[in-house]
Amino acid sequence: MTAIEFKLESLSNHLDRIMSVGMTGSVLKTVGLTISVSGLSAPLGALCRIHRHNGKPLDAQVIGFHGEETFLLSLGKLDGIRRGNRVELVQSVPALRVGDKLLGRIVNGRGEFIDQQPSAFLPHIAQVQATPTSPLERPRIDEVLETGVRVIDGFLTCGKGQRLGIFAGSGVGKSTLMGQLARSSSADVNVVVLVGERGREVREFLERDLGPEGLKRSVVVVATSDEPAVLRLQSAFLGTAIAEYFRDQGKDVLLMMDSVTRFALAQREIGLAAGEPPATRGYPPSVFSLMPQLLERSGRTNKGSITGFYTVLVEGDDTNEPISDTVRGILDGHIVLSRKIAHEAHFPAIDVLESISRSMSDITTPDHRQHANNIRRLMAAYQQSEDLINIGAYQQGTNPVVDSAISLRGGLLKFLQQPPGERTSWADTQKQLKQLDTLPASGTTLPGGMRQGAPPKMK
């Protein structure tokens, strides 16, 4: 098959999915937020327009069918809708306009500019619900993406095309960390998706956390918590489609989404409205089938890469609840933010021992991994004896490994803490990591830099 024949076949397949606009129906009834329409054979996900007798037309999305009825979920308030209102099919395949002029701009869940600046001409069209890349077309992750954050680059090294979850409760520093990553990483383009964010915090994130430096090479997609569930859900797919456009231009894209939990809550609202039965903790099955469809779209291709950082808002700081478990099983690693560490004025509040990067062994040198693993062991030894140390019950010299961990403590905390406005280069991170691993300590040195000793005992 020639290249021209392949393009024609691809175009033909795409046209087969598009239904002619002008198809109409009428409102039959409303139940809660769901609108039942008769006489409209629109496909799932299609965009329809309800013509109210009073007020502007209202857009809605098809979410299900039953018998001769088609169920819609509105993208706005239902005020003014009544039985018999005409419903028109507007767009059968969700799509948006994209282009390089999206950089530095802020859009809503429908791809419309909301930053009070003049609209820009966007020459290309991208599908919102695109198919994830075939697994056999994904090159292996073999190149480091520098984040500029020492603790991540040193202990949780991220590769181009990797997907990492940031797990934390509310108010532990997720947004601040995302802003630091957007300003400091080596990615060419940032795409920041705020799903269900509080309206008050959007501007704070843009001006305080992201800043002008981060915004100029970023595209920000915003769907606040007061917006309909359809827009909150669609904003996640829309942001991913924008990232795919820049990836296909040969760029390394950093996609940050806050949060997957609110994405799941939006789908739960839609699923229950469509009549889907609740399953695990009130979440319908569609929530758990939809998350892989979103998360698998990031990754590396032969053209470029999308490195994903997805935040997960854990309930009651429980990282084993259903959404956290599902996301952790899909992604290539997880970063856990600890409320205890955050309360000690420690930023970023990353619990290194609870976090892992599954691609680190493929993209770092043996020396790097050796230093990181040695320090991890000393951190674990300190954690096991922390209570004894804090109450003064540990006797110096009892365990050389714990002695080494205590002597390492001051330098390690300095390495792990990093102000939001500070960026550390990859070379400096490697240098500091090596210096930490070669601190003088008592005890017998074993291969790999560990010291062997007896278990700690009380005075």
101 falls within a domain:
yes
Q: Which residues pair with 47 in a beta bridge?
A: 61, 91
| Domain assignment of residue 327, yes or no | yes
Residue 145 has what pLDDT?
Answer: 96
Statement: residue 37 has pLDDT above 70:
yes
Provide φ and ψ at 193, rounded to 5°.
-115, 120
> Which residues lie closer than 8 Å to 431 by C-beta, 6 or more apart?
none
Final residue of a domain: which of 93, 119, 135? Answer: 93
Residue 439: per-residue pLDDT: 52
With H, G, I as helix, E, B as strand and everything else as coil, classify residue 114. Answer: coil
Asked whether residue 291 is domain-assigned, the answer is yes
Percent of the chain whose pLDDT exceeds 90:
65
Residue 247 in domain:
yes
Residues 165, 284, single domain; the answer is yes
pLDDT tens sequence across 336-386:
999 999 999 999 999 999 999 999 999 999 999 999 999 999 999 999 998
Point out the domain boundary residue: 93, 108, 133. 93
E strands, 32-154, are 34-38, 47-51, 58-66, 69-74, 86-91, 95-98, 105-108, 124-127
Q: Name the residue with higher pLDDT: 13 or 117.
A: 117
Do 45 and 193 belong to one domain?
A: no
Residues 341, 376 within the same domain? no
- Give alpha helix (H) positions in 283-337: 285-295, 322-330
Same domain, yes or no, for 137 and 210? yes
> In this model, does residue 414 exceed pLDDT 60?
yes
Q: Would you list the DSSP string of 427-446?
A: HHHHHHHHHHHT---SSEE-
**Would 451 be classed as within a structural domain?**
no
Q: Are residues 303 and 154 in the same domain?
A: yes
Same domain for 177 and 148: yes
- pLDDT by residue (tens digit) across 79-128? 889 999 999 999 888 899 999 999 999 999 999 999 989 999 999 999 99
109 and 194: one domain?
A: yes
Whether residues 295 and 394 share a domain: the answer is no
Instruction: Reply yes or no on whether the pLDDT at 195 is more than 50.
Output: yes
Same domain, 63 and 136: no
Kindly report, residue by residue over 150-162, the tens digit of the pLDDT.
Answer: 999 999 999 999 9
Domain that holds residue 388: 367-438
Mean pLDDT of 201-220: 91
What confidence tens digit (pLDDT) does each residue in 233-249 have?
999 999 999 999 999 99
Number of compact structural domains in the chain: 3
pLDDT at residue 317 is higher than 90: no
Last residue of a domain, one of 78, 93, 108: 93
Q: Is the pLDDT of residue 46 over 70?
A: yes
Average pLDDT, the chain: 88
pLDDT at 315: 75
Per-residue model confidence as pLDDT tens digits over 271-316: 998 888 988 888 999 999 999 999 999 999 999 999 999 999 887 6
Q: What is the pLDDT of residue 335?
A: 96
Backbone angles phi, psi at 455, to 5 degrees: -60, 150
Distance (Å, whole) CA 202 – CA 192: 11
Q: Which residues of 159-174 are buried (b: 16+ CB within 10 A; e: fewer)?
A: bbbbbbbbbbbeebbb
Q: Which CATH number covers residue 64? A: 2.40.10.170
In a domain, 28, yes or no: yes
Instruction: Kindly state the DSSP code that residue 280 receives in the 8-state scheme.
Output: B
Q: Supply the pLDDT for residue 4.
A: 54
Whether the per-residue pLDDT at 451 is higher than 50: the answer is no
CATH number at residue 121: 3.40.50.12240
Query: What's the rounded Cα separation, in Å, for the pair 40 and 47?
Result: 12
Amino acid at 441: A
**C-alpha–C-alpha distance, residues 239 and 259, integer Å:** 12
Cis peptide before 259 (omega within 30 of 0): yes
How far is residue 181's CA from residue 355's CA, in Å, rounded to a whole number?
17
Q: Which among 289, 294, 280, 269 is positioned nearest to 322, based on CA atoms? A: 280
Q: Please indicate, yes or no, whether residues 79 and 157 belong to a single structural domain of this protein.
A: no
Answer whether 264's CB lies under 8 Å from 236's CB: no
* Inside any domain, residue 445: no
Together in a domain, 124 and 271: yes
Whether residue 184 is found in the same domain as residue 171: yes
Q: Can you give the CATH number for the domain in which 394 is found?
A: 1.20.1270.330
Q: Look at residue 201 in the predicted model and tell me its pLDDT.
A: 87
Q: Check residue 88 and give its pLDDT.
A: 94
User: Confidence band (pLDDT; 50, 70, 90) for 21?
Assistant: low
